[in-house]
């Protein structure tokens, strides 16, 4: 059997993560994988998560199965955080999923049951795992123009033009906020225009929502998605708790379906749960139970929001100060876009050889498309880093 297989190509982000771990240089800098780091370079367990995990340990009385949907209170809390009152409860169904990737996968497999091999439009560029994940579910990826490297902003007219060429029943994958890998987000009026386009052309919006709370704030980051949800009859959302609750390894996510009416959404949800049953049966409980405890307890929730806001504002400050350092080093405003972009990622616009030089000669680890993780920056090393980048960029 196995002799029939060829080795799978390594995932670029995970390969870089492994390379960084093996590098023995003490002054190495990790700007690769998208995990939040504090000023000491640690990916700490959040205070509220630690307290909730202790409570769960002390109070949980059974480890029996949770059921196909997972923790129902977790699902309700996630629906409320993400959608607020944008859609009525009878049109919304939520199930737990193993991380944002798990949510993307089960939704994609369910959509593939509705329309086998349907085209899914993906931003160019996008998270490198989107294409393998969605095509692995049976969908057919197609890209739409998204990022203008010259201005650091969204090529909105070209994006709309490409989507005008989509066929009824096609799926449009959108990043809810903090676009990965560019940090360039749609404005609320642009979300509304995309919603109108989806309605006009009969396109199905599918939102990857992995960085809620890392852009402009918890409520602000939902504004575009909620504007979309208010306008379209149907929608799917893959929400991740990995980053904003810092529970990466626990694999906590939620798959959300919005339907035109209760009957339609119940039918789609039954298919979604049947996908999960056929893939992993029931979701893992531990991480979602911890998140549920945090969200259901007003004190823990307030503490989580405060700590999340601290993480967000640290990234905003790092963006501003790094753009300043790059302006000093390059004597130009060519990297000013970094200050305006949102969330964890921006792209420096470097070529592969330049990225290799940064890694080999300076111990600076950047993903191969020149994406940097803003949270990996250290305030006291910004000038050194900026000088190294400008030296290789020329």
Residues identified as active-site: 127, 208, 210, 243
305 binds ligand LMR (CB under 6 A): no
129/190 with CB nearer ligand LMR:
129
Task: Measure CA 229 to chain center.
Answer: 18
Site size with ligand LMR, rule: CB under 6 A: 6
* 343, 313 contact by CB (below 8 A): no
Closest CA to 32 of 287, 272, 363, 340: 363
* 227, 191 contact by CB (below 8 A): yes
41/233 with CB nearer ligand LMR:
41
120 binds ligand LMR (CB under 6 A): no
Q: How far is the CB of 20 from ligand LMR (least distance, A)?
A: 12
Quick note: the x/- pattern for ligand LMR over 9-48, rule CB under 6 A, is ----x-------------------xx--------------
List the beta strands (DSSP E) in the chain: 29-30, 92-97, 119-124, 140-145, 147-148, 153-154, 171-175, 204-209, 235-240, 253-258, 345-347, 364-365, 371-373
214/337 with CB nearer ligand LMR:
214
Cα 254 from Cα 208, distance rounded (Å): 11
Using DSSP's 3-state secondary structure scheme, residue 346 falls into strand
90 secondary structure, DSSP code: G
Query: Which residues within the stretch 318-377 sit at the binding site for ligand LMR (CB under 6 A)?
Result: none
Q: How far is the CB of 13 from ligand LMR (least distance, A)?
A: 4
12/334 with CB nearer ligand LMR:
12
Q: How far is the CB of 24 from ligand LMR (least distance, A)?
A: 23
97 binds ligand LMR (CB under 6 A): no
* 120, 142 contact by CB (below 8 A): yes
Query: Which residues within the stretch 174-213 sit at the binding site for ligand LMR (CB under 6 A)?
Result: 180
Footprint of ligand LMR (CB under 6 A) = 13, 33-34, 127, 129, 180
């Amino acid at each position: 059997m196995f002799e029939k297989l060829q080795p799978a190509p390594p995932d670029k982000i995970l390969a870089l993560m492994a390379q960084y771990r093996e590098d023995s240089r003490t002054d190495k800098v990790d700007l690769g994988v998208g995990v939040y780091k504090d000023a000491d370079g640690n990916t700490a367990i959040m205070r509220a998560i630690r307290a909730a995990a202790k409570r769960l340990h002390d109070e949980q009385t059974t480890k029996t199965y949770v059921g196909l949907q997972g923790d129902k209170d977790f699902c309700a809390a996630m629906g409320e955080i993400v959608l607020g009152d944008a859609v009525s409860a009878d049109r919304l169904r939520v199930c737990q999923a193993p991380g944002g990737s798990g949510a993307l996968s089960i939704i994609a497999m369910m959509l593939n049951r509705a329309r086998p091999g349907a085209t899914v439009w993906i931003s160019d560029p996008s998270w490198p795992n989107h294409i393998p994940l969605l095509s692995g579910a049976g969908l057919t990826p197609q890209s739409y123009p998204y990022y203008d490297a010259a201005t650091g902003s969204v090529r909105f007219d070209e994006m709309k033009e490409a989507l005008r060429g989509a066929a009824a029943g096609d799926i449009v994958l959108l990043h809810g906020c903090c676009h990965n890998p560019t940090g360039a987000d749609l404005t609320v009026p642009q979300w509304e225009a995309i919603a109108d386009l989806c309605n006009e052309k009969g396109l199905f919006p599918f939102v990857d929502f992995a960085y809620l709370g890392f852009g402009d704030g918890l409520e602000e980051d939902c504004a575009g998605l909620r504007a979309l949800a208010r306008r379209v009859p149907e929608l799917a959302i893959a929400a991740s708790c990995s980053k904003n609750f810092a529970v990466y390894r626990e694999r906590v996510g939620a798959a959300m379906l919005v339907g035109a009416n209760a009957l339609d959404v119940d039918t789609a949800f039954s298919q979604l749960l049947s996908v999960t049953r056929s893939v992993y049966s029931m979701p893992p409980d531990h991480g979602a139970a911890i998140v549920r405890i945090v969200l259901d307890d007003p004190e823990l929730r307030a503490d989580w929001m405060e700590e999340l806001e601290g993480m967000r504002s640290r990234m905003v400050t790092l963006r501003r100060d790094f753009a300043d350092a790059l302006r000093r080093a390059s004597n130009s405003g060519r990297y000013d876009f970094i200050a305006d972009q949102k969330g964890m990622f921006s792209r420096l616009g470097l070529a592969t050889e330049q990225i290799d030089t940064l890694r080999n000669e300076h111990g600076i680890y950047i993903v191969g498309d020149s994406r940097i993780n803003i949270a990996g920056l250290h305030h006291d090393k910004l000038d050194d880093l900026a000088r190294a980048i400008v030296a290789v960029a020329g």
